[in-house]
């Protein structure tokens, strides 16, 4: 912003630059404060806590020890929830992608006048408590409804959906789908339709057009959406608790146990830090992978 | 036939004291416990307003600094006016304040008794904030929440509250109605009876649907055999480490508070052995899994909380609760007074009032949990009084053991986490 307005040939420009810098600072200040107070500070506290020890009656007592991390890393059963979370979050992200992409594409390109109605329908569920929406899946998937119907169809009375990892996966996809759809919708809506027509004119089939035109254009929204859904899924704890009957034990659930059932804040903090590291690593890898593929394709287009 | 969402939500919300449950309170009952400081300020504001309306009225000394000036003015006025005002002098010192701030489990006091208390002592504001588990209570006090008068923790957390300096000793001379069954006096949490006043008690045991489970279920051993045998996959455990570990420890004849490595090694083997047979770990909605005419779960390691509602429903009236013969855990919820309680006279008035036999009897009729006060039993609904699940007979009582806080033991939590990871298969 400052660069755009600064023209260093007159005296008044210098004044306006200072003014502009001041304005920039003033505008950034609230968000900077927000970032500092709600992101950097808690992160710092968690990191400091993770090197502490549990106070005799629970909570945090200052110390400097690596015991929390060592205990976590040397016990395979304490690492198990990390991997379960990772698999479920990846599965959930892919699920959101497969459901979300066609949906976003349809709303952006085919819905016409119904566009805003459809967008509204996607948003309305968000007005209800997340917990109540998850509880309602208990009924939909329960043995009186879908679960029972499928059990009857396949003739296995003990078949159930609830309490399986599939129920958790379904809950994850349902719960986070809009976060995936909106970024993709925005990029798809801005897409120049003539590019698709051009592709067809040049003899590309539907699949080739999708792969070489639509998908690369959607990619920024797709990446944003994936990250938006992946990160909260890694920390999810309500869905496995309700739809998974506590049988799918994710990182979020292990964290709750550390803070609630044993009041061991330092150990819980160590888990949280490790979770952040795992997410940072996964997301960076993902972004690197996506960008790498993109450069190659651009080169091939050239 | 199909259960409606409303039914489930209503029951989740109505679950009297969803003991140690986290979800229900977090989302449905609302954790919106207003900070006492905040409510203190508003109530003082209204108090000041009423003081303006009738200058002669006796006013509670205010604690909120924002109105300190006007409050001290009112307070000095009170000194001269108190003789003319209706007197609620309570043994042995001081006027009863106009307000009381309580932090307790949800739905844990009969609302009628609150009204009676307010009317009797001229208390205008009865602030009732709720927590979902003891940890939430401790965390809030550790974070520096002040302004509460009375809290309702579970006995095993009282030593931690005492050591942290969060509660003050009770002056029993100001609670003349103090009269409790010997089983609830000189407890391991408070050997001198100075810090806690017993409120309600209950046990951890076995719930089962007798229409479907026709085998005898009277012991942990039978329960364990049935889980691994005929009723595999039809069992719910509450999601609480301390309660689940009772079963294996009692099966090997040890204290449920054991932190001996050898004992816990055995516990680990036994729990991992049971893990594949368990349908759910659930403290919030386990009642739903046991309910209906085709229940998902037939057996449950849980608490007495769901009994009352399940018995009312003809479809699930066959629910039975057993205190296992090897012995089990009993919990005791208690009253404690917070350090620096702003309304000590109103607090003592309440603590004494709630132990009036008829009032205490109505408490039991409302909460459905056993009262430790024997003088109240004559006012308790006979069906509740004769229910061995609520008031276990003497020979069962002697097998009960109170829990101490063992959450600092690393091996226990490691076993618990491994158990949870193995349940999914």
Residues of A in contact with B160 (CB under 8 A): 57-58
Angle at B418 between CA B255 and CA A75, to 5 degrees: 110
Domain range summary for chain B, segments of one domain joined by +: 27-201+333-385, 203-330+388-423
CB contact under 8 A, A249 and B2: no
Contact B324, B131 (CB under 8 A): no
Contact A92, A172 (CB under 8 A): yes
CB contact under 8 A, A245 and B418: no
Whole-complex ipTM? 0.80
Contact B45, B63 (CB under 8 A): no
Lowest-pLDDT range of A15-19, A148-152, A264-268: A15-19
CB-CB: which of B2, B12, B416 is closest to A144?
B2
Mean pLDDT for back-to-back runs of 10 residues, chain B (425 residues): 56 46 39 36 37 36 36 40 42 76 92 94 92 85 85 93 93 91 91 94 94 93 94 92 94 93 96 94 88 91 88 92 93 94 93 94 92 94 90 89 88 92 78
Confidence of residue A41 (pLDDT cuts 50, 70, 90): very high
Alpha-carbon span A123 to B177, nearest angstrom: 57
The whole-number pLDDT of residue B31 equals 34
The whole-number pLDDT of residue A301 equals 37
CB contact under 8 A, A132 and B414: no
Which of B127, B136, B173, B181 is closest to B154 using CA atoms? B136
Q: Of residues A224 and A2, which shows the higher confidence score?
A: A224
Alpha-carbon span B243 to B237, nearest angstrom: 9
Q: Is the peptide bond before B92 cis (omega within 30 degrees of 0)?
A: yes
CB contact under 8 A, B3 and A163: no
The whole-number pLDDT of residue A113 equals 86
Task: Please give the full DSSP string across B11-61, using - where no structure is assigned.
Answer: HHHHSSS-TT-SHIIIIIII-----HHHHHHHHHHHHHHHHHH-TTS--PP
Percent of chain A with pLDDT over 90: 37
274-303 of B, contacting A, C-beta below 8 A: 278-282, 284-285, 288, 294, 296
The whole-number pLDDT of residue B138 equals 87
Which of B213, B197, B404, B176 is closest to B297 using CA atoms? B213
SS3 at position B99 = strand
Q: Do domains B27-201+333-385 and B203-330+388-423 have the same CATH topology?
A: yes
Contact A222, A97 (CB under 8 A): yes
Nearest CA of chain A to the CA of B21: how many Å? 10
Q: Of residues B18 and A222, which shows the higher confidence score?
A: A222
Alpha-carbon span B310 to B325, nearest angstrom: 24
Measured in degrees and rounded to the nearest 5, phi and psi for residue B127 equal: -85, 120
Check CB contact of B126 with chain A, cutoff 8 Å: no
Which of A95, A239, A83, A256 is closest to A168 using CA atoms? A239
Class of domain B27-201+333-385: alpha beta
CB-CB: which of B135, B159, B296 is closest to A143?
B296
Residues of A in contact with B164 (CB under 8 A): 57
Check CB contact of B408 with chain A, cutoff 8 Å: yes
The whole-number pLDDT of residue A260 equals 81
CB-CB: which of B4, B414, B420 is closest to A75?
B414
203-242 of B, contacting A, C-beta below 8 A: 233, 239-241
A88 has a pLDDT exceeding 60: yes
Alpha-carbon span A149 to A159, nearest angstrom: 10
The whole-number pLDDT of residue A4 equals 46
The whole-number pLDDT of residue B9 equals 57
Q: What residue ranges define each of the domains in chain A, with the CATH number in brackets?
A: 79-301 (1.10.3720.10)
Residue of chain A nearest B286, judged by CA positions: A245
Alpha-carbon span B291 to B317, nearest angstrom: 9
The whole-number pLDDT of residue B208 equals 96
Q: Is B340 left (phi over 0), alpha (psi -120 to 50) or beta?
A: left
Check CB contact of B192 with chain A, cutoff 8 Å: no
Structure tokens given for B172: 């029993």
Superfamily of domain B203-330+388-423: Periplasmic binding protein-like II (3.40.190.10)
């Amino acid at each position: 912003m400052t660069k755009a307005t600064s023209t260093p040939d007159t005296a008044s420009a210098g004044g306006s630059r200072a003014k502009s810098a001041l304005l920039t600072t003033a505008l950034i200040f609230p968000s900077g404060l927000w970032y500092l107070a709600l992101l950097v500070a808690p992160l710092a506290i968690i990191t400091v806590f993770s090197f502490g020890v549990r106070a005799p009656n629970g909570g945090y007592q200052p110390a400097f020890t690596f015991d929390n991390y060592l205990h976590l890393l040397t016990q395979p059963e304490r690492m198990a929830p990390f991997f379960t979370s990772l698999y479920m979050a990846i599965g959930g992200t892919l699920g959101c992608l497969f459901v979300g992409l066609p949906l976003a594409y349809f709303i952006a390109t085919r819905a016409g006048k119904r566009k805003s109605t459809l967008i509204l329908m996607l948003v309305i569920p968000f007005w209800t408590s997340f917990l109540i929406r998850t509880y309602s899946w208990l009924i939909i998937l329960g043995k009186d409804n879908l679960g029972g119907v499928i059990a009857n169809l396949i003739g296995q009375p003990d078949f159930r959906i609830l309490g399986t990892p599939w129920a958790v996966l379904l809950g994850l996809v349902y719960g986070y789908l809009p976060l995936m759809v909106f970024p993709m919708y925005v990029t798809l809506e801005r897409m120049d339709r003539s590019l698709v027509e051009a592709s067809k004119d040049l003899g590309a089939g539907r699949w080739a057009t999708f792969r070489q035109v639509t998908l690369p254009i959607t990619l920024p929204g797709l990446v944003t959406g994936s990250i938006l859904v992946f990160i909260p899924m890694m920390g999810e704890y309500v869905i496995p608790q309700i739809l998974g009957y506590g049988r799918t034990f994710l990182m979020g659930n292990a964290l709750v146990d550390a803070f609630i059932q044993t009041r061991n804040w330092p150990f819980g903090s160590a888990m949280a830090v490790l979770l952040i590291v795992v997410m940072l690593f996964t997301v960076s890898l993902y972004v690197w992978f996506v960008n790498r593929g993109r450069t190659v394709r651009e080169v091939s287009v050239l | 036939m199909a259960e409606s969402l409303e039914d489930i939500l209503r029951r989740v919300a109505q679950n009297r004291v969803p003991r140690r449950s986290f979800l229900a309170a977090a989302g449905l009952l609302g954790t919106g416990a207003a900070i006492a400081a905040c409510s203190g300020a508003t109530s003082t504001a209204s108090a000041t307003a009423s003081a303006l309306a009738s200058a002669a009225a006796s006013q509670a000394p205010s604690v909120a600094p924002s109105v300190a000036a006007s409050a001290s003015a009112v307070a000095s006025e009170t000194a001269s006016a108190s003789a003319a005002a209706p007197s609620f002098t309570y043994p042995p010192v001081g006027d009863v304040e106009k307000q009381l701030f309580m932090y307790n489990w949800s739905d844990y006091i009969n609302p009628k008794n609150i009204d009676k208390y307010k009317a009797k002592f001229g208390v205008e504001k009865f602030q009732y904030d709720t927590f979902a588990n003891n940890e939430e209570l401790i965390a809030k006090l550790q974070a520096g929440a002040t302004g509460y008068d009375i809290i309702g923790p579970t006995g095993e957390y009282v030593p931690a509250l005492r050591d942290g300096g969060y509660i003050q000793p009770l002056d029993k001379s100001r609670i003349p109605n103090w009269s409790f069954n010997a089983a609830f006096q000189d407890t391991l949490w408070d050997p001198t009876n100075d810090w806690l006043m017993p409120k309600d008690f209950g046990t951890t045991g076995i719930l089962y649907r007798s229409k479907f489970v026709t085998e005898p279920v009277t012991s942990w051993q039978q329960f364990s055999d049935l889980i691994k045998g005929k009723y595999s996959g039809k069992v719910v455990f509450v999601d609480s480490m301390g309660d689940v570990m009772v079963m294996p420890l009692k099966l090997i004849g040890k204290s449920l508070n054991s932190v001996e490595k050898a004992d816990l090694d055995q516990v680990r083997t036994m729990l991992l052995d049971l893990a594949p047979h368990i349908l759910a770990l659930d403290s919030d909605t386990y009642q739903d899994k046991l309910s209906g005419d085709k229940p998902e779960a037939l057996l449950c390691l849980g608490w007495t909380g769901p009994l009352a509602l399940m018995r009312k429903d003809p479809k699930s009236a066959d629910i039975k609760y057993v205190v296992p013969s090897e012995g089990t855990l009993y919990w005791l919820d208690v009253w404690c007074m917070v350090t620096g309680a702003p309304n000590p006279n109103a607090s003592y008035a309440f603590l004494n009032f709630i132990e009036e036999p008829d009032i205490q009897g109505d408490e039991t009729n409302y909460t459905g949990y056993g009262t430790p006060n024997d003088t109240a039993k004559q006012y308790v609904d006979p069906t509740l009084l004769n229910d061995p699940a609520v008031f276990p007979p003497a020979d069962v009582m002697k097998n009960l053991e109170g829990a101490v806080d063992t959450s600092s033991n690393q091996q226990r939590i490691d076993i618990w986490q491994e158990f949870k990871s193995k349940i999914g298969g």
